[in-house]
Chains A and B, each alone.
Chain A
Amino acid sequence: MNGWSVLDRFLRTDPRDAGCAEAMQMLHVYAELVASGAAAQQYPGIAAHLRACGPCGEDFEGLLAAVCDEAQ
């Protein structure tokens, strides 16, 4: 990926983006859905947010790892 596409991707915003507050509020529900392999399409705003927000995406990865570890 070159600089143009990195910059373009950084500046591109998704109008469905739910924002940090809603993502943080629902993160445990969303993580369980993803961990169980169930469709998480019912939360498109959270999915869009987690793709764009580094800190929330990082929290999601950590929680997902904890949930998956628990399930094993």
Chain B
Amino acid sequence: MQKALVDPARLDAESAEWLQALAGAGPRREAALARLHERLLRIARREAARRGPRLAISGPELDDVAHQAAADALLAITAKIGQFRGDSRFTTWAYKFVIFEVSAKIGRHFWRHPVVPLGAEDWDRLPARFGFDPAQQAEWRDLLAALRRAVDSELTPRQREVFVAIVLNDVPLDTLVLSLASNRNAIYKMVFDARRKLRASLAANGYLPDDSSRR
């Protein structure tokens, strides 16, 4: 375990107590680890339950996500405790790990059980993804045709692949991270650049208002 480098005098009393207990040895440290795990599990369960209904995961599977997330978060926290700078309460810093673990485990679940094959490409899904009313197709048909042309002509093959997965197939970004062996920041940046290019193309062709006129 890394040793915390932050000056305990800078911390609130509870955070200082956590750091001292976790840096120690014997029963005091074991008790602190058990207490922290209990809190992490409570938060993991609530977080998994909060996300569960939208993700069609429930029951024992959801509880399994929570248990794994709490266990892995505890390992990460003890391994990285030297990175705690005291810029928040210790528990807030620690809870961040368990929230990230729940995210990652749910992303992994979808990677193993995809609702739509990751490589599928059904452009008929596009209107519904943005909530366009089928009864008013005459109003938006040209816009979405222009969007599809821009996807094909303006994006790099990798940007196009990511756009299709996220927008057409509704693949969670964290699932795509696993599928492409990448990281959240890199995939987000790719989507960010794709959005910017597509909006510029649609604005240049008069389908959307020009950004400069709104700022």
Contacts and interface: CB of A to CB of B under 8 A. Distances in A.
Interface residues of A, number: 36
Given A4-B143, A55-B172, A67-B95, A62 B130 contact: no
A21 B182 CA distance: 13
Contacts, number: 110
Contacts of A13: 192, 195-196, 199
Interface in A44-60: 52-56, 58-59
Interface in B186-215: 188-189, 192, 195-196, 198-199, 202, 208-209, 211
Contacts of B196: 11, 13
B188 A20 contact: yes
A12 B17 CA distance: 46
B178 interface: no
B88 A29 contact: yes
Contacts of B209: 8
Given A8-B208, A11-B195, A24-B100, A3 B127 contact: yes
Interface stretch (B3-11, B24-32, B43-51): B43-51
Contacts of B132: 2-3
B144 to A, nearest CB: 8
A55 B127 CA distance: 23
A10 B195 contact: yes
A65 B184 contact: no
Contacts of A69: 46
B89 interface: yes
B147 interface: yes
Given A54-B173, A62-B102, A12 B199 contact: yes
Contacts of A58: 51, 103
A62 B185 contact: no
Given A59-B99, A63-B95, A66-B99, A6 B131 contact: yes
A38 interface: no
Contact of B96 (A10, A19, A63): A63
Contacts of B47: 62, 65-66
Interface of A: 1-4, 6-8, 10-13, 17, 19-21, 24, 27-29, 31-32, 52-56, 58-59, 61-63, 65-67, 69-70
